Amino acid sequence: MIKANDPSLVSWVEVKQGSDFPIQNLPLGVFKTEQLEPRVGMRIGEFVIDMKSLQVLGYLDNLPFAPNAFDSSSLNLLMKKGKLASRRLRDRVSDLLEKDNTELQNNEHHVNQVLIPIEQTIMLMPVEIGDYTDFYSSKEHATNVGTMFRDPNNALLPNWLWIPVGYHGRSSSVIISDQDVHRPKGQTKPNENEPPVFGPSRMIDFELEMAFITFDGKPLGESISTAEAEDYIFGMVLFNDWSARDIQKWEYVPLGPFLAKNFASSISAWIVSLDALIPFQVDTPEQDPEVLPYLAYEGKKSYDINLQVGITPNGAEEKIVCDSNFKYMYWNMAQQLAHHTVNGCNIRGGDLLGSGTISGPTPDSYGSMLELAWKGTKPIQMPDGSERKFILDGDTVTMRGYCQNDKVRIGFGEVKTKLLPAK
């Protein structure tokens, strides 16, 4: 067992019961304050650990990180050192925060420098994202969409059970939680017998996803196997793949999503390491037909991550519209990365790979409004008396995620985004 995962660990830093960020988590992110320029942080409870200060004060000596790795507006420099170095960093900080370790806790001046209350911080985009790929890996979601728009008896396209389907997205419009999104404009075709029209999308949807962020991969021309994949995954975030369904319907044939997707995608601020998630590994759903050899794998490659989506109308009460779980995904991350690189495509540190919409087997676990309201035929009733077929201007969509067993809870916080009117 990785030392920092020990469920018996308790920190001298107060952590409230049910917190997403106990000592067993220690996710990484980037923050600033009114006084401090952007820098790397770790999260424990309601505090951000200033990693630059921790290093300057000498607590991270003997770790293979240059001074500017923590004095940075992204985690990309830190990630250059790879998985083992990231593991050593998490172990070291865990040791410093453990209740019986007096090395830091007995130095009040240092503690006040290092621990910053979360309410004093502004969270920033944690990585510079070079490339972004989005998959389509939930069998339930793909079946629902195929049922709605094609033949219910042949809902899955012929390739779906053979390859982790994906497309290349736009990294420049990936945004951090709490950054607002404007309703996009584009071409739609509301009447099949008339020409298309231009204007604001009328069918804005969320897609409940998670995403993983990579370390540097292999050189161009080499592939990453399913057995190696986890060594190239830095960690995971919550991911809202915003979609304009009416724009998407008109544009996606023959080359797939374009303007319907590239206006915005939202991620949570804290990157949870795969190491922290090891206690929550579970089996991937049974795959039939048997996958081709390069997609075969051994062991537990999925994760039991509880997921929730809420919609909050402007000035009104939140409505929880979805309760799902990452474990429902048919194609796991190891298979996604192996498929992505099998042709020799190279990945780089900071690349973002989205899971695809996460839908479960029951209507309350569907991961998009398209499914929850079933193409607008089953509107969702809101506490204020209004109803939703899709997301309206002024609505805030909040996604939350956490793992939990009888010993520890490891959470991702939330990704929250408000939809504003079109410009």
Q: Known catalytic residue: 141?
A: yes
Residue of 141, 168, 339, 340 marked active site:
141
Q: How far apart are CA 132 and CA 391, in angstroms?
A: 24
Asked if residues 422 and 185 have their Cβ atoms less than 8 Å apart, the reply is yes
Which residues are the active-site residues? 141
